[in-house]
Amino acid sequence: MNAPARAPYTVGKPLRHDSAHLHVAGEAPYADDIAEIHGTLHAAFGLSTRAHARILSMDLSQVRAAPGVVAVITAKEIPGNNNFGAVAHDDPILAGDEVLYAGQPLFLVAAHSHELARKAARRARVEYEDLPAILTIEEAMAEKSYVLPSVTLERGDLQYALKNAKHRLQGSIRIGAQEQFYLEGQIAYALPKEDGDLLVYSSTQHPSEVQHMVAEAIGISVNRVTVECRRMGGAFGGKETQPALFAAAAAVMARHTGCPVKLRPDRDDDFLITGKRHDFLVEYDAGFDDNGRIAGLEVMLASRCGYSVDLSGPVNDRAVMHIDNCYFLANLRIVSHRCRTNTQSATAFRGFGGPQGMMAVENIIDDIARHLDRDPLAVREANFYGPEGRDITPYEMKVEDFVADQLVAQLAKDADYQERRARIRTWNRHSGNLKRGIALVPVKFGISFTATHLNQAGALLHVYTDGSVLLNHGGTEMGQGLYTKVAQVVAEELGIDIARVRVSAANTGKVPNTSATAASSGSDINGKAAQAAAVEIRNRLADVAGRHLGVPAATIRFSDNHAKAGDLSMEFTELVRLAYMARVQLWADGFYRTPKLSYDPQTLKGRPFYYFSYGAAVSEVAIDTLTGESRVLRVDILHDTGRSINPALDLGQIEGGFVQGMGWLTSEELCWDNLGRLRTHSPSTYKIPTASDIPAIFNVRLWERDNREESIFRSKAVGEPPLMLAMSVFHALRDAVASIADDRLIPKLNAPATPQELLFAVEELRLRDQASRSRPQ
């Protein structure tokens, strides 16, 4: 009842990010910009230089004696649990007797300045006894070194399907890791409050988890810790579990010294300490028919999880559950190994395992297409989900909202895929050292946390007597525009201008027990929670307005800052004042739990997702076959946003996600040496895309159709899915490499496709081509 009349009032408009005017003026404060309390100390970690070793002795006397140093703490000084891992409790804040990776924090020093703390931290003398270190997926597999038991997902009769398939192909691919590279590094600022309470400013996607881990590290109850985050300078999954380390350490030091403590690692330390996207090794065995339709598929996924469990369970589960991407796989067996290594503990990163699973199947499809000398797009389409009989995922969820077929057909037409592909093939026959390639790749991504209980959210909405509205919810702002979207929802429901709605910082004291802002779910769940609160307020106001105007409350509509019933209307602020005088509650909470979910994480079966988001991209690239350098020339994207709440913000997510995915698959390469030390730990050695790397032609359109599920205003989640559109770049690069051998052979290309990787793929293919041609027929 009282819903706004048809045309949306605020929802659906391309409004600016609510902080845009602050961002551009340098007036948007991040945690490091908060005015420091007098007496604030600055902390720095001392880090392990060994991948796996016993600590024989740690001489910190020179650290303590360094100028400006106030305190130094080790694991022994942690009053509560020496752990920041919420899942398996296996992440020490400070190493005990053993170090498990190079970069692990050993101790924390606090000094009068950031610089003095960093200088002091380097003066430690640590004696190690090296222990055997497991660094790679292969070493871990050989040693059966896993952080969690391996998982198998099976369906149908794989052996029969493989044996009876007309064609059979085996292959493998490596998919590299990726650093989140949020521009604002990790940071926590912990302030002691009265009676042992703590206030922590943390740059975190998960204030509640930070709150819990801080309380546990100190050994106090959760209600004594408040965590606040107004905004992050980027997160991308890297601030889901990782911030708890910095917050807990800063809090322990604050407790230890009685002073406010800020902990902001330098960029290099941030790289060395924190987890990244899991790198994967994929091996497969596929059986298929003449059209490339897969009859049976066996896949082995092995990921490098690092020293601890962290989120590796759900990340790898999601990889398994995205092996299908848009394809019906009747008979299959997926085995997923979660390798324990002496490296940083791999963690969440936009897509959360989904990208790696989808890269696996896209590579398989591309191999099949090249094996059959067919257009990879035709093979993709031949394997699409379809009507009954072809609409059940390997994890037994029915795909009810499949639109990839229509969406792909539309994009192929709009982007001239077929014609350009033919032109490129002709061009390649006459070109010199440069070759071009093109690929169209679809994306289907499951929306919801696979841990069903996390799909809940809360909001708190205050209406003040001047008619202004203060909104708070459990979601965090990391640049995605969540606060703007949720404010739009509230403005819409109350029929007021967005300017009247102020969004306040995520704060554990306002909405408790929140889930991380992750899994693309931010707008979906927080929007719904805020909507519930707004509807509650609106209904109360409608009663007041109805009484005042002498009409039934149910006839009142809210729009244009007025409550209206036919010709009668009253201004919102006037109504609010009236409600106050009538002693009507002007604040409300809202709560939401995502419906329809039922999923068993033990068997990986059920309905883990509320719905799917879709998209597709065509990328065209060129490579230099003498150097391996590449360029993305043109990209066309059609992406399913449902009925977008804010098309401008959604466009930003699509473009930004795509470019981030492009970096993952091309220039971003993490290198560890043979002692397990990360050698790429700053932007001088780790290369995310720059402005000139984006395609000169970059057409992005939204596929705006109502979500078939009752999501917030029928929109769809858009945070993660676009990242995977960048698979089209990788496959276009493969296409360009394949042209070396007249598209007759399957190129061997791993991700990221750096110049070196591409040149080696070109060379290997050239040799194989020569060998195949010289071989007698």
Partner 1 sequence: MPDERTDHLRTDEIRFLLNGKPMTLANPPATRTVLSYLREDLRLTGTKEGCAEGDCGACTVAIGEADGHGGIQCRTMNSCIRFLPTLDGKALFTVEGLKHDGELHPVQKAMAEHHGSQCGFCTPGIVMSLFALYKSQPAPDRPAIEDALSGNLCRCTGYRPILDAALAMHDLGRMLPGRMRSWVHSPANDASDESAKSAAQLLEALGESRRSAAFETGHEAGAFHAPESLQELSMLRARLPGARLLAGGTDMGLWVTKQLRDLPELIYVGRVAELRRVAVTESHIEIGAAATITELAAVLTSHYPDLAIILRRFASPPIRNSATLGGNIANGSPIGDSMPCLIALGARILLRSGPDTRVIALEDFYLAYQKTDLQPGEFVERILLPLPSTGQRFRAYKIAKRFDQGISIVLGAFSLRLDDGVMRNCRVAFGGMAAVPKRASGCEAALEGKAWSRSTIEAAAEQLALDFAPIDDMRGSARYRTLVAGNLLKKFYLEIEGTGSSTRVEQMTGGRE
End-to-end CA, the chain: 77
Q: Looking only at residues 105 through 144 of this chain, which bind partner 1 when binding is defined by CB under 8 A?
A: 113, 115, 118-119, 122
Residue 37 binds partner 1 (CB under 8 A): no
Nearer to partner 1, 401 or 620 (CB): 620
Q: Looking only at residues 621 through 640 of this chain, which bind partner 1 when binding is defined by CB under 8 A?
A: 622-624, 626-631, 633-634
What does the block give as tokens for 773? 């041609």
> Closest separation between CB of residue 78 and partner 1, Å?
27
What does the block give as tokens for 725? 């559109």
In the sheet that holds 562-565, the strands lie side by side as: 557-559, 562-565, 568-571
337, with CB counted inside 10 A (0-12, 13-18, 19+), is buried
Determine which residue in the list 49, 136, 150, 680 makes contact with partner 1, applying CB under 8 A: 680
Determine which residue in the list 695, 719, 721, 747 makes contact with partner 1, applying CB under 8 A: 695
* Cross-strand pairs, 227: 200
Residue 25 binds partner 1 (CB under 8 A): yes
Pairwise CA distance, residues 511 & 518, whole Å = 17
Of 161-169, 521-529, 754-762, 765-773, the window that binds partner 1 (rule: CB under 8 A) is 754-762
Residue 682 binds partner 1 (CB under 8 A): yes
Determine which residue in the list 6, 7, 26, 566 makes contact with partner 1, applying CB under 8 A: 26
Of 17-25, 303-311, 467-475, 508-516, the window that binds partner 1 (rule: CB under 8 A) is 17-25
Helix (H) or strand (E) holding 413: helix 404-414
Residue 756 binds partner 1 (CB under 8 A): yes
Residue 767 binds partner 1 (CB under 8 A): no
Residue 648 binds partner 1 (CB under 8 A): yes
**Cα-trace Rg, the chain:** 27
Q: Are 210 and 84 in contact (CB under 8 A)?
A: no
Determine which residue in the list 693, 704, 743, 764 makes contact with partner 1, applying CB under 8 A: 693
Determine which residue in the list 86, 124, 494, 659 makes contact with partner 1, applying CB under 8 A: 659
Residue 419 binds partner 1 (CB under 8 A): no
Residue 418 binds partner 1 (CB under 8 A): no
Q: Are 215 and 522 in contact (CB under 8 A)?
A: no
Nearer to partner 1, 90 or 268 (CB): 268
Of 245-253, 296-304, 338-346, 619-627, the window that binds partner 1 (rule: CB under 8 A) is 619-627
> Closest separation between CB of residue 528 and partner 1, Å?
23
Phi, psi dihedral angles at 749 (to 5 degrees)? -135, 125
Determine which residue in the list 13, 23, 167, 425 makes contact with partner 1, applying CB under 8 A: 23
> Length of the chain in residues, anyone?
777
Pairwise CA distance, residues 350 & 233, whole Å = 15
Confirm whether 720 is a catalytic residue.
yes
Report the candidate in 326, 305, 316 with the shortest Cα–Cα distance to residue 352.
316
Pairwise CA distance, residues 440 & 412, whole Å = 8
Residue 38 binds partner 1 (CB under 8 A): no
Q: How far is CA 363 from the centre of its chain?
A: 22
Name, in order, each residue with C-beta under 8 angstroms of 673's C-beta and a sequence gap of 6 or more: 679
> Closest separation between CB of residue 579 and partner 1, Å?
34
The residue type of 29 is: P
What does the block give as tokens for 29? 């404060």
Which residue's structure tokens are 């694991």?
Answer: 75
Q: Which of 139, 720, 757, 764 is catalytic?
A: 720
Cis peptide bond upstream of 752, omega within 30: yes
Q: Looking only at residues 240 through 279 of this chain, which bind partner 1 when binding is defined by CB under 8 A?
A: 266-268
Nearer to partner 1, 365 or 718 (CB): 718
Nearer to partner 1, 357 or 628 (CB): 628
Residue 696 binds partner 1 (CB under 8 A): yes
Residue 103 binds partner 1 (CB under 8 A): no
Nearer to partner 1, 16 or 390 (CB): 16
The CB density around residue 684, as the number of other CB atoms within 10 Å, is 9
What does the block give as tokens for 646? 């804010």
HEC profile for 54-98? EEEEEECHHHHHCCCEEEEECHHHCCCCCCCCCCCCCCCCCCCCE
Q: Looking only at residues 425 through 464 of this chain, which bind partner 1 when binding is defined by CB under 8 A?
A: 427, 430-434, 436
Residue 691 binds partner 1 (CB under 8 A): yes
Determine which residue in the list 324, 669, 709, 720 makes contact with partner 1, applying CB under 8 A: 669
Q: Looking only at residues 184 through 203 of this chain, which bind partner 1 when binding is defined by CB under 8 A?
A: 184-185
Report the candidate in 487, 523, 461, 472 with the shortest Cα–Cα distance to residue 13.
487
Determine which residue in the list 11, 282, 651, 665 makes contact with partner 1, applying CB under 8 A: 651
What positions carry a catalytic annotation? 720
